[in-house]
Amino acid sequence: MTYRSWADLGGRPDGRTVQPEAEGELFHAPWEPRVLALTLAMGATGLWNIDMSRSSRETLEDYSELSYYEIWLAGLQMLLLDSGAASPDEISSGRMTRPAIEVAHVLSAEAVAGVLAAGAPVSRVPDRPARFTVGQAVRTGTDSPRHHTRLPGYARGKQGIIERVHGAHVFADSNARGLGEQPEWLYTVVFDAADLWGSAPPGAAPTRVSIDAWEPYLAPA
Amino acid sequence: MTDHDSQDHDHAGRTPSAMELRVRALETVLAEKGYIDPAALDLLIDAYKNKIGPRNGARVVARAWSDPAFRRWLLGHATAAIASMGFGGRQGEHMIAVENTPELHNLVVCTLCSCYPWPILGLPPTWYKSAPYRSRAVKDPRGVLKDFGVDLPQSTAIRVWDSTAEVRYLVIPLRPSGSELLEEAALANLVTRDSMIGTGLPQTPGGAP
């Protein structure tokens, strides 16, 4: 089965200007904050993890036609269906027709402040030494994997330099597939823009672009 | 796609009230099934509407501008330095602060989704999550900056940080000239949200940026 992310936008041709927005403009319809809160509250149940959430959103075929919170709503619905937490009929009718499934946690009002303040760190104790060191030249993989991944298309098959070693972090590629955290070393890898795009604007000081890349994305250059 | 999605895709006339009903139905059934506590939803919304926002980050930047020891701590161990001011948690678990200089301008993007340092900047603005920004920031950052009215000198190098994992970035903008005598609280008022993402510059004392 192929996997397609519709969210990998870096470097795509897009002639539209970016529309700045005032600092207080958070939501543009009354339902948007409810979708935000529903997503956060359902995320707290433990039925899925944040990488599964991102995967559910990026695979929506109408991703590019939806607004941000429409994407979140559609992604949430996919997760509810996939996990068996709700049926299509329940989602459209708003009425319970099947028993609830068991969830590990229900986010209570009393717990909200503490849960937000605690967050969910993804750093883990590594089970092996880092393969790469700061300053080392690396080359990113060229694969388009058949699953959620966080190596952007524009940075595939490119040579860069390890700039920072972050430690071992939960590996999104496995976590998104329900294969466990399988922590991997995470690095900031920096590229010259000319190497990414084949040319650089004449006369301007150089631009460099970095990504955060897990070790499996990288090979020695 | 689900049946529900295709039913709702009547591109002619999807109204906000239809979305409102759809979301309300979902919330109702999820509460009935015992998965969510509606009172918790209200508190989550209140937190991001009223408590967690870019004024937090502005205070961090103002302290970095006025306290050299804090600046060094922030640049070396951002998560801990930011936590010392009471900010941290969800979507700010692994912070890195990067500093603008006259020679280098930093710009933060998430090309893959909308990763953003919530504890210090709140929820991301619409443009940060939009296709034009995510597409162009890595390829044409000078053009994107012009959309924000920022025309960087050609001699200033640009560094774009694509937040592709769970590390979150805060830009420490250049302290504006004329702000030398200001106290921390007054400095924080000069720090705009966009200047902490890298799409803007701080305001200058008594004037526009």
pLDDT of residue B16: 55
Residues A128, A211, single domain; the answer is yes
The residue among A6, A34, A55, A190 with the most chain B CBs within 10 A of its CB, best to mutate, is: A34
Total domain count, chain A: 2
Residue B91 sits at the chain A interface (C-beta within 8 Å): yes
pLDDT of residue B13: 54
Residue B208 sits at the chain A interface (C-beta within 8 Å): no
Q: In the predicted model, what is the mean pLDDT of residues B74-95?
A: 98
Residue B199 sits at the chain A interface (C-beta within 8 Å): yes
Cβ distance B138 to A209 less than 8 Å, yes or no, reads yes
* Cβ neighbours for A149, distance < 8 A, ≥ 6 positions apart: A5, A172, A173, A217
Which of B5, B35, B139 faces A42 most closely, judged by CB atoms? Answer: B35
CATH classification of the domain holding A66: 1.10.472
- Structural domain contains residue A22: no
pLDDT of residue A200: 81
Rounded to a whole number, what is the distance in Å from the CA of A121 to chain B's nearest CA? 5
pLDDT digits (tens, 9 = 90+) for A104-120: 999 999 999 999 999 99
Residues A109, A198, single domain; the answer is no
Residues A74, A48, single domain; the answer is yes
Residue B204 sits at the chain A interface (C-beta within 8 Å): no
Last residue of a domain, one of A71, A94, A118: A118
pTM summary value: 0.94
Residues A84, A114, single domain; the answer is yes
Q: Catalytic site residue B115?
A: yes
Share of chain B above pLDDT 90, in %: 90
Q: Catalytic site residue B113?
A: yes
Residues 99-128 of A with CB under 8 A from B: 100, 103, 106-109, 111-113, 115-123
Domains of chain B with bracketed CATH? 10-49 (no CATH), 53-197 (3.90.330.10)
Residues A81, A59, single domain; the answer is yes
Q: What is the pLDDT confidence band of residue A81, given thresholds at 50, 70 and 90?
A: very high
Residue A198 sits at the chain B interface (C-beta within 8 Å): no
pLDDT at A3 over 50: yes
Q: In the predicted model, what is the mean pLDDT of residues B79-85?
A: 98
- Structural domain contains residue A170: yes
Q: How far apart are CA B35 and CA A79, in angstroms?
A: 13
Q: Which of B6, B66, B84, B110 is catalytic?
A: B110
pLDDT of residue B125: 97
- Structural domain contains residue A12: no
Residue A205 sits at the chain B interface (C-beta within 8 Å): yes
Rounded to a whole number, what is the distance in Å from the CA of A210 to chain B's nearest CA? 5
pLDDT of residue A201: 79
Which of B35, B139, B165 faces A197 most closely, judged by CB atoms? Answer: B139
Residues A186, A213, single domain; the answer is yes
- Structural domain contains residue A156: yes
Q: What is the pLDDT confidence band of residue B24, given thresholds at 50, 70 and 90?
A: very high
Cβ distance A11 to B139 less than 8 Å, yes or no, reads yes
Cβ distance A19 to B130 less than 8 Å, yes or no, reads yes
- Structural domain contains residue A2: no
- Structural domain contains residue A154: yes
pLDDT at B6 over 60: no
Residues 141-160 of B with CB under 8 A from A: 141-142, 144, 147-149, 154-160
Last residue of a domain, one of A54, A85, A118: A118
* Cβ neighbours for B162, distance < 8 A, ≥ 6 positions apart: A10, A152, A155, A209, A210, A211, A212, B109, B110, B111, B112, B138
pLDDT at B166 over 50: yes
pLDDT of residue A199: 85
pLDDT digits (tens, 9 = 90+) for B168-183: 999 999 999 999 999 9
pLDDT of residue A202: 82
Residues A99, A148, single domain; the answer is no
Find chain A residues with C-beta within 8 A of B5's C-beta.
62, 74, 77
Find chain B residues with C-beta within 8 A of A123's C-beta.
93-94
- Structural domain contains residue A198: yes
Residues A108, A128, single domain; the answer is no
- Structural domain contains residue A99: yes
pLDDT at B60 over 60: yes
Please provide the average confidence, as pLDDT, over all residues in chain B.
93
Residues A141, A99, single domain; the answer is no
Please provide the average confidence, as pLDDT, over all residues in chain A.
97
SS3 string of chain B? Answer: CCHHHHHHCCCCCCCHHHHHHHHHHHHHHHHHCCCCCHHHHHHHHHHHHHHCCHHHHHHHHHHHHHCHHHHHHHHHCHHHHHHCCCCCCCCCCCEEEEECCCCEEEEEECCCCCCCCHHHHCCCCHHHHCHHHHHHCCCCHHHHHHHCCCCCCCCCEEEEEECCCCCEEEEECCCCCCCCCCCHHHHHHHCCHHHHHCCCCCCCCCCCC
Which of B23, B126, B134 faces A9 most closely, judged by CB atoms? Answer: B134
Residue B114 sits at the chain A interface (C-beta within 8 Å): yes
Beta-bridged to residue A217, according to DSSP, are: none
Q: What is the pLDDT confidence band of residue B208, given thresholds at 50, 70 and 90?
A: low
pLDDT of residue B79: 98
Residues A112, A59, single domain; the answer is yes
pLDDT digits (tens, 9 = 90+) for A45-61: 999 999 999 999 999 99
Could you tell me the two tokens for A25?
A: 């403009």
pLDDT digits (tens, 9 = 90+) for B65-75: 999 999 999 99
Find chain B residues with C-beta within 8 A of A68's C-beta.
114, 126, 129
pLDDT at B161 over 70: yes
Residues A145, A62, single domain; the answer is no
CATH classification of the domain holding A206: 2.30.30.50
Residues A79, A136, single domain; the answer is no
pLDDT at B121 over 50: yes
Domain that includes residue A202, residue range: 123-220
pLDDT digits (tens, 9 = 90+) for A169-178: 999 999 999 9
Whole-complex ipTM: 0.97
Q: Catalytic site residue B130?
A: no
Q: What is the pLDDT confidence band of residue A1, given thresholds at 50, 70 and 90?
A: low
Task: Supply the DSSP symbol for A184.
Answer: E
Q: Mind giving me the DSSP string for A57-95? A: HHT-TTGGGS-HHHHHHHHHHHHHHHHTSS-HHHHHH-S
Q: What is the pLDDT confidence band of residue B4, given thresholds at 50, 70 and 90?
A: very low
Last residue of a domain, one of A95, A118, A141: A118
Q: Catalytic site residue B6?
A: no
